[in-house]
Chain A
Amino acid sequence: MADVPDTELATLPLDAWHRARNGRMVPFAGYHMPVQYEGIIAEHRWTRSHAGLFDVSHMGQLIVPLDATATLETLLPGDLQAMSEARPKYSLLLNPTGGIVDDLMITKRPDGWYLVVNGATKHGDMDVLRAAGLAFTYLADQALLALQGPDAVAVIAAHAPGVSELGFMQAGAFDLGGVQAWISRSGYTGEDGVEISIPASAADAIADLLLADERVRPIGLGARDSLRLEAGLPLYGHDLDETTTPVAADLLFAINKRRRAEGGFAGSDRILAELEQGAITRRVGFTVEGRQPVREGARILDVEGNEVGRVTSGGFSPSLEAPIGMGYVATHLAEPGTALTLEQRGKLFSAAVARLPFVPHNYHRKGKTA
């Protein structure tokens, strides 16, 4: 995206809000977006210890009619028929060869299936839905905020009573400071927190309301990326693309029991065969010796020096103060502890397959006291 002229980039509802708070704006997914405010490491640590406010309004929010469940099930491997209302699930939009077109969150709501898809892929996703004969509504006038971190729910519950009753991966409609909001207890940082869908016209007021709490700071895309990497969560366009299958990507939990038995979703022949026989490659996390980050695109070698994969996400973990990453390796090398060699710009690095997540998730599980 870096070579898109500034004039062709769209602005988000909170554009002026970010600039007023010294957000450093960069091109991302076709928009001007804040990469950082005070600094990625400080913002990362603040989110892990307090609450970070993220603007994720570039993501696409769609409503598909509830009577389209059967058609939607031809594209997604989730058991939509068995879904309860207001319980978001992670799912995958698949192509006919079982490749991942996008990863998304889907929730059954009274007004339809509510899909939150990636910003960079949303228009392509809509083409896929149209091609399948699905009617849908693109909620272009909805903003999306994420409030993430151990203090996040206490902060929002002060303005939207009832949010603290939600368990992880539960959602509902709430009055948030006089604004009608759809709030999910979910996120993509590994922390407890919420994602808040509100009318774009109310985005400034709600962002101000949340930021007025001293536990909240604005957080940019840079820390969002380091947080999700520590949490072991794949990023579409980097760790996932149309050439990777859910089996290779280690996202089997997105394929429910009934769907495994019945198939009938895009690419299911290949995916179900891989489920039985295993995929050739598998997404893994790894730690790297030393301090130098190894970035996306670096080659992954086995101990004999054979290329066995590529790094798909690589960076520096502020929590572990060490370089970490993700990539695809030949399946026989996917066991935690397996020694790997990475090659970046001609330099070799010792690495080892690590268990994901790198930093334990801090989700609010049911039955666990907050």
Chain B
Amino acid sequence: MSLHFTKEHEWIRVEGDTATVGITDHAQSQLGDIVFAEAPEAGKQLTKGGDAAVVESVKAASDVYAPASGEVVEANPAIADDPSVINTDPEGEGWFFKLRLSNPSELDGLMDEAAYRAWVETL
């Protein structure tokens, strides 16, 4: 298992050739109360850096980008039913979707956890 982070505040946890994607605790705290989330449907092909999901707080809409390319294998139904789980457990139960990676080497350019947390401190 490996965990990576993007500068757009997504996390991606890789186990074998599949990966789970969500937004970071920093991202949810910046957005505030989340009232709507829409994850991509299974079967959708995503490209690294492209639009993957939508998350809306009371105040604003925000895009979630794909941290790596691949096919969506599962969307998290819990975030549609109760989007506030993204506020309460963004890096656990509030995950957005699972991806079958098409090019795992794309992960090389992402930050590890220590680098991400340190970078967020500078924002």
A293 CA to B58 CA, complexed, in Å: 8
The yes or no answer to B35 lying at the interface (CB within 8 A) is yes
Given contacts A222-B58, A315-B58, A316-B58, A39 and B36 within 8 Å (CB-CB): no
The size class of the interface chain B forms with chain A is 10 to 19
Given contacts A40-B32, A41-B33, A292-B36, A318 and B58 within 8 Å (CB-CB): yes
A318 CA to B33 CA, complexed, in Å: 10
Which residues between 67 and 123 of chain B lie within 8 Å of chain A, taking CB atoms?
83
A46 CA to B32 CA, complexed, in Å: 16
The size class of the interface chain A forms with chain B is 10 to 19
- Shortest C-beta distance, B5 to chain A (Å), equals 23
The yes or no answer to B56 lying at the interface (CB within 8 A) is yes
The yes or no answer to B61 lying at the interface (CB within 8 A) is yes
The yes or no answer to A217 lying at the interface (CB within 8 A) is no
Are the C-beta atoms of B58 and A40 separated by less than 8 Å? yes
- Shortest C-beta distance, A25 to chain B (Å), equals 13
Are the C-beta atoms of A39 and B35 separated by less than 8 Å? no
The yes or no answer to B10 lying at the interface (CB within 8 A) is no
Contacts of B57 in A (CB 8 A): 40
Which residues between 31 and 56 of chain B lie within 8 Å of chain A, taking CB atoms?
32-33, 35-36, 38, 54, 56
Q: Number of A-B pairs whose CB atoms are under 8 Å?
A: 37
Which residues between 302 and 324 of chain A lie within 8 Å of chain B, taking CB atoms?
315-316, 318
- Shortest C-beta distance, B78 to chain A (Å), equals 14
The yes or no answer to A36 lying at the interface (CB within 8 A) is yes
The yes or no answer to A291 lying at the interface (CB within 8 A) is yes
Are the C-beta atoms of B32 and A39 separated by less than 8 Å? yes
A101 CA to B54 CA, complexed, in Å: 36
Contacts of B83 in A (CB 8 A): 291
Are the C-beta atoms of B59 and A35 separated by less than 8 Å? yes
A293 CA to B83 CA, complexed, in Å: 13
Are the C-beta atoms of A293 and B36 separated by less than 8 Å? yes
Return the contact of B35 from the options A35, A225, A295, A316 (Cβ within 8 A): A316
The yes or no answer to A226 lying at the interface (CB within 8 A) is yes
Contacts of B56 in A (CB 8 A): 292-293, 316
- Shortest C-beta distance, B51 to chain A (Å), equals 10
Are the C-beta atoms of B59 and A315 separated by less than 8 Å? yes
Which has the most chain A C-beta neighbours within 10 Å: B35, B54, B57, B83? B35
Are the C-beta atoms of A293 and B32 separated by less than 8 Å? no
Which residues between 5 and 42 of chain A lie within 8 Å of chain B, taking CB atoms?
35-36, 39-42
Name the residue on B nearest A26 (C-beta).
Answer: B59
Contacts of A293 in B (CB 8 A): 35-36, 56, 58, 61
Contacts of A36 in B (CB 8 A): 32
Are the C-beta atoms of B38 and A292 separated by less than 8 Å? yes
Contacts of A222 in B (CB 8 A): 32, 58-59
Are the C-beta atoms of A226 and B36 separated by less than 8 Å? no
A40 CA to B56 CA, complexed, in Å: 13
Contacts of A41 in B (CB 8 A): 33, 58
Contacts of A39 in B (CB 8 A): 32-33
A295 CA to B57 CA, complexed, in Å: 11
Contacts of B58 in A (CB 8 A): 40-41, 222, 226, 293, 315-316, 318
Contacts of B54 in A (CB 8 A): 292
Which has the most chain A C-beta neighbours within 10 Å: B36, B38, B54? B36
Are the C-beta atoms of A295 and B61 separated by less than 8 Å? yes
A139 CA to B13 CA, complexed, in Å: 57
- Shortest C-beta distance, A159 to chain B (Å), equals 32
Name the residue on A nearest B35 (C-beta).
Answer: A316
Scan A194-230; emit 1 where CB is below 8 A from any B CB, else 0: 0000000000000000000000000000100110000
Contacts A41-B58, A315-B58 known; 13 new A-B pairs at CB < 8 A: A36-B32, A39-B32, A40-B32, A40-B58, A40-B59, A42-B33, A222-B59, A292-B56, A293-B35, A293-B58, A315-B59, A316-B36, A316-B58
The 5 closest A-B pairs by CB, nearest first: A316-B35, A41-B33, A40-B58, A292-B36, A291-B36
Jot down 6 A-B pairs with beta carbons below 8 A, ordered by A. A291-B35, A291-B36, A292-B36, A292-B38, A293-B36, A316-B56
